[in-house]
Amino acid sequence: DNWSSAEVHSVEHQASIDAFANARFELPQETLQAGDEVVAGLAAPAAGEQNEEFQQKQTHEEAEVEKDPFA
């Protein structure tokens, strides 16, 4: 390969990057609302599960501390 062919590929690559960076997508309002509902449904149980796991872990650690004969 010589420099002129590499330069052509570089220019094409930069043009592709610029075209993609300036691309805009518009979603219908119904799609956005449906996405918000899905996220709300996923976020609530996940937060509750993490909270339960944290409480169980904390309770387990407290039980181990109380049973430590060298405390």
CA–CA distance, 38 with 45 (Å, rounded to integer)? 12
pTM over 0.75: no
pLDDT tens digit string along 17-61? 999 998 888 889 998 899 888 888 887 655 555 666 667 776 666
36 within 8 A of 30, measured Cβ to Cβ: no
DSSP string for 7-50: HHHHHHHHHHHHHHHT------HHHHHHHHHHHHHHHHHHHHHH
pLDDT tens-digit profile of 44-55? Answer: 655 555 666 667
